[in-house]
């Protein structure tokens, strides 16, 4: 992939052998934005896990204090808490009939389900699973606390898990965010990832962390 002149000009400013204080890295990302749109700021974490070992998977949730700058479209499947879900601000609410609609089209970012609906969701697991949308108790998207869950998601709660290479990726804000807000989101994300270190892993969970804007180069940060 060929990079633009602004990207090339920015990347030469980064010392690849150095890790930077979070605040300094954020300043670099903001000063070297290149797109005309409000780019997202992303964090990419390299972990020390062996993703091939089932007991070394990393999965959890975090409430980013300042959100991500993007509103999430939330769907709720329930036979018991529809009114509660609607009152909390869920965008799509339904029961078993919603499962058939999802099998044809997915138009939401997060799916929440009450426990009694999980056996019914099994028939579309192959659709939801690869997209990371299957409700899961570990990400608190299988719950009886529908109101609290939907409200938290609307405020910036995000779920994370390692990919096939053992890395974790998350949007933590927009380039337009104030520097201190981006810093707080980054720090709380790193803290929450560290808390879910697998029991079978020796040493530190986080090997390194890099932040970047959507169109910008990565810069390693202190962890």
Cβ count near 91 (within 10 Å):
18
6 within some domain: no
115 within 8 A of 175, measured Cβ to Cβ: no
Q: What pLDDT shows up at residue 17? A: 86
2 within some domain: no
Q: In what order do the strands lie in the sheet with 92-94?
A: 92-94, 74-77, 110-113
CATH code for the domain in which residue 40 is found? 3.30.190.20
7 within some domain: no
**Straight-line distance from the first to the last Cα atom of the chain, in angstroms, rounded to the nearest whole number:** 29
Instruction: Please give the residue range of the domain that contains residue 118.
Output: 74-153
Domain stops at, among 105, 122, 153: 153
Q: Are 144 and 80 part of one and the same domain?
A: yes
Structural domain count, the chain? 2
Nearest to 50 by CA among 195, 137, 183, 166: 166
Spell out the residues 6+ positions from residue 57 whose beta carbon is closer than 8 angstroms to its own. Answer: 49, 51, 161, 162, 198
10 within some domain: no
194 within some domain: yes
8 within some domain: no
Q: Are 177 and 138 part of one and the same domain?
A: no
Query: What does each of the 223 residues of the chain score in pLDDT, given as a tens digit?
Result: 567 777 777 777 788 889 999 999 999 999 988 888 999 999 999 999 999 998 899 999 899 989 999 888 999 999 999 999 999 999 999 999 999 999 888 889 999 999 999 999 999 999 999 888 999 998 889 999 999 999 999 888 888 999 999 999 999 999 999 999 999 999 999 999 999 999 889 899 999 999 999 988 999 999 8
135 within some domain: yes
43 within 8 A of 211, measured Cβ to Cβ: yes
Q: What pLDDT shows up at residue 36? A: 87
Q: Are 93 and 142 part of one and the same domain?
A: yes
146 within some domain: yes
Q: What is the pTM of this model?
A: 0.79
Tokens of 221: 């940060």
CATH code for the domain in which residue 86 is found? 3.40.50.790
């Amino acid at each position: 992939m060929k990079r633009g002149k602004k990207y090339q000009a920015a990347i030469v400013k980064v010392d690849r052998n150095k890790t930077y204080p979070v605040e300094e890295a954020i300043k670099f990302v903001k000063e070297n934005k290149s797109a005309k749109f409000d780019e997202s700021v992303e964090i990419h974490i390299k972990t020390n896990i062996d993703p091939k070992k089932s007991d070394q998977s990393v999965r959890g949730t975090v409430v980013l204090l300042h959100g991500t700058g993007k509103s999430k479209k939330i769907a709720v499947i329930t036979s018991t808490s529809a009114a509660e879900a609607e009152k909390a601000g869920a965008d799509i609410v339904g029961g078993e009939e919603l499962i058939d609609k999802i099998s044809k089209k997915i138009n939401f970012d997060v799916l929440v389900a009450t426990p009694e609906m999980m056996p019914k969701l099994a028939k579309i697991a192959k659709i939801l699973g690869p997209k990371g949308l299957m409700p899961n108790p570990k990400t608190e998207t299988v719950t009886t606390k529908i109101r609290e869950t939907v409200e938290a998601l609307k405020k910036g709660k995000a779920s994370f898990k390692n990919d096939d290479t053992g890395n974790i990726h998350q949007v933590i804000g927009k380039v337009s965010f104030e520097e201190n807000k981006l810093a707080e989101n980054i720090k709380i994300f790193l803290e929450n990832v560290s808390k879910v270190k697998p029991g079978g892993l020796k040493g530190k969970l986080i090997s390194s962390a890099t932040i970047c804007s959507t169109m910008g180069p990565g810069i390693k940060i202190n962890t």
